[in-house]
Amino acid sequence: MTPIRTCLAALLLTTSTGAALAFQPLITDDTGTQGQGGKQIEVAYVEKQATLSGDTTRTSTLPLVFTWGASDAIDVYVGIVPTQIRSGTPGVDTGGLGNTAVGAKWRFLENEDSGTSLAIKPEVRLPVGSSQEAAGLGAGMTSYSLTLVLSQEFSFGAIHFNLVKGRDLFLEPDTRPHASTLRASVAPVWNVSEQWKLALELGREAVSTGGDTATTQFVQLGAIYSPTNDIDVAMGLLRSTDDAAAQTTTTTATLGLTWRFR
């Protein structure tokens, strides 16, 4: 595999592992905000197993995100993602902090009669050190993304749609070219009962670097249990495959907790 293809494969292995959690356990976010002065803490244990050219890599992350409601329609957040990577090659396991994410979500349109709302979500990811970048924990230069979020309410629940454009910048672009990401995803969520929600998520992500592009398709099944109005327990199982030269198949399991408070 060429060096550029190797970089593509590595990027695909880290798809959707950023610190900024969305609507747990989904990658797709919704337009909901905390309201002025509202606060939220999200934490999750995410276990990912990826098989590339017959080799299996296991990545465990513990993303932690704090969100604060700056107004009724604007949230700001900061998130960190401790990461542990275990490969099939002895002596190359590594761990540490990935890119810290700082961002905001602004719900700029809301029609209560139709149940339609729109939001935008800019995010900046702070750089990691050169050794962390070399270990595959994150990008060594400031990176960024912008997400368009559409939520539509229905009698059964809601459907959420995201369109994301991002850019990852690396310290040595000659050996690890900068990468551009474009992702689209849709997630219908069913209100099964007062305490339970079930979700199905479908998505497609294209990662372009060094003149090559690889595409990943993913599907996730999720469940959300809310014992109170302020606490959610989320469970998800995601499966993804890509079309790179050495095809990567990834299975991701998520167990998350969300706590809202004032």
pLDDT digits (tens, 9 = 90+) for 196-219: 999 999 999 999 987 888 899 999
pLDDT at 2 over 60: no
CA-based R_g, the chain, Å: 18
% pLDDT > 70, the chain: 88
For residue 203, report the phi and psi dihedrals to the nearest 5 degrees.
Answer: -155, 165
Please give the Cα distance from 220 to 249 (Å, whole number).
Answer: 14
Mean pLDDT of the chain: 89
Please state which architecture CATH assigns to domain 3-36+43-253: Beta Barrel (2.40)
* Residue of 45, 42, 46, 47 lying closest to 78 (CA atoms): 42
C-alpha pair distances (Å), 105 with each of 32, 89, 96, 99: 9, 40, 27, 19
% pLDDT > 90, the chain: 72
Task: Specify the pLDDT at position 176.
Answer: 80
Average pLDDT value for residue range 9-34: 73
Task: Specify the pLDDT at position 6.
Answer: 46
pLDDT at 13 over 70: no
Strand (E) positions, 126-178? 143-153, 157-168
Please give the Cα distance from 124 to 53 (Å, whole number).
Answer: 32
pTM: 0.91
CB-CB neighbours of 232 under 10 Å: 22
Of residues 16 and 254, the one with the higher pLDDT is: 254
Confidence of residue 161 (pLDDT cuts 50, 70, 90): very high
pLDDT at 260 over 50: yes
Q: Summarize pLDDT for 165-191 with one digit per residue, the tens.
A: 999 999 988 778 899 999 999 999 999
